[in-house]
Chains A and B, each alone.
Chain A
Amino acid sequence: MDDTKVFGFWIYLMTDLVIFSVLFATYVVLRNSTFGGPSASELFELPTVFAETLILLTSSFTCSLATLAVHREQKKPAIYWFAATFVLGTAFLYLEITEFSQFISHGAGPQRSAFLSSFFILVGTHGFHISLGLLWMLVAMFRIGFRPFVISSVSRIMRMAFFWHFLDVVWIFIFSVVYAMGLLL
């Protein structure tokens, strides 16, 4: 394995974690500052969040199956599992964009209150990461399809999978801190 590159990528992920934690702290501080607008419990719908969470968890699983195929140097299963992950990731992104546009069309856009600004920036940053992850996955699938497996390309694919699992964990925290706490408190 290309240890230095994996370690470097790990450091990048940790700095990304700091970005998310700053956004989490901002959200938690501002979550009750609704300025007369809709509050978290009025806005959030559990079925959507449940679907999003299940989709992302399953995509994390299919991604891990893809890396298993890469380890065993089986090209076709690797591409199929990454394709499944890609479809699930796109479905997640679609649900998130639908949710955002529904909020905005109901007058609950990011400019409505401090609560909504911090909500959109936190969840939106995660969605942006997901889009980048999907793009990276597309590139990885083409590389698997058209190039032979060498150590450097395996390491590259592993870093991409690493990124995907990381985003899944961040989403679990978004579910817990934003949606669960919003509906309970």
Chain B
Amino acid sequence: MYNTLTSRVIGFVASLVLTFTAFLLVVRPYLFHLEIDVVVMIILILAVLQGMAQAIFFLHVLSERGTRWNLFVFASTISIIVVIVVFSIWIMNHLNYNMMHH
């Protein structure tokens, strides 16, 4: 089922829908009367969904059998990334704040 034209076309349509939604939100941020932070959050979630769509429909990660070592490496990488990105932003924002006169 995975190595078919259908799965690729579904993947392409899904990626287009996700991208058009993201661009619509950038062009008309107040279309759904949401706060701008929420809109940014939705765009980031759309990006994650896009990555998952590419992985499932183009790379067929779900069809792979055998060891789960690649999943293990992926999980470790994600945890490293979360530490680097989230904590960098957190520390630097507070650093800026604490260096100001207030």
- The A-contacting residues of B in range 1-43, CB under 8 angstroms, are 3-5, 8, 11-12, 15-16, 19, 22-23, 25-27, 29, 36, 39-40, 43
Is A113 positioned at the interface, with any CB of B under 8 Å from its CB? no
Assess whether B81 is in contact with A21, with CB atoms less than 8 Å apart. yes
Q: How far is the CB of B6 from chain A (nearest CB, A)?
A: 11
Closest to B13 in A: A61
Closest to B27 in A: A46
Assess whether B19 is in contact with A54, with CB atoms less than 8 Å apart. yes
Assess whether A168 is in contact with B54, with CB atoms less than 8 Å apart. yes
Considering only CB atoms and an 8 Å cut-off, how many residues of chain B contact the other chain?
Answer: 44
Is A181 positioned at the interface, with any CB of B under 8 Å from its CB? yes
- Known A46-B26, A53-B19, A60-B58; judge A28-B50 contact (CB<8 A): no
Which listed residue, A64, A162, A177, A183, touches B11 by the CB 8 Å rule? A64
Assess whether B3 is in contact with A71, with CB atoms less than 8 Å apart. yes
Residues from chain B with a CB closer than 8 A to the CB of A3 are 66
Residues from chain A with a CB closer than 8 A to the CB of B4 are 68
Which listed residue, B69, B84, B92, B93, touches A22 by the CB 8 Å rule? B84
Which listed residue, B19, B50, B85, touches A24 by the CB 8 Å rule? B85
The secondary-structure label for the interface of chain A is: helix
Task: Report how many A-B pairs have Cβ atoms within 8 Å.
Answer: 111
Q: How far is the CB of A165 from chain B (nearest CB, A)?
A: 5
Q: How far is the CB of B49 from chain A (nearest CB, A)?
A: 10
Closest to A21 in B: B81
CA distance A57 to B40 in the complex (A): 21
Which listed residue, B36, B40, B66, B85, touches A21 by the CB 8 Å rule? B85
Assess whether A169 is in contact with B51, with CB atoms less than 8 Å apart. yes
Max count, chain B CB within 10 A of own CB: residue among A26, A60, A64, A184: A64
Residues from chain B with a CB closer than 8 A to the CB of A10 are 70, 73-74
Residues of B within 8 A of A (CB): 3-5, 8, 11-12, 15-16, 19, 22-23, 25-27, 29, 36, 39-40, 43-44, 46-47, 50-51, 54-55, 57-59, 66, 69-70, 73-74, 76-77, 80-81, 84-85, 88-89, 92-93
Residues of A within 8 A of B (CB): 3, 7, 10-11, 14-15, 17-18, 21-22, 24-26, 28-29, 46, 50, 53-54, 57-58, 60-61, 63-65, 68, 71, 162, 165, 168-169, 172-173, 175-177, 179-181, 183-185
User: Can you report 6 residue pairs joining A to B where beta carbons are below 8 Å apart?
Assistant: A3-B66, A29-B89, A65-B5, A175-B47, A183-B26, A184-B40
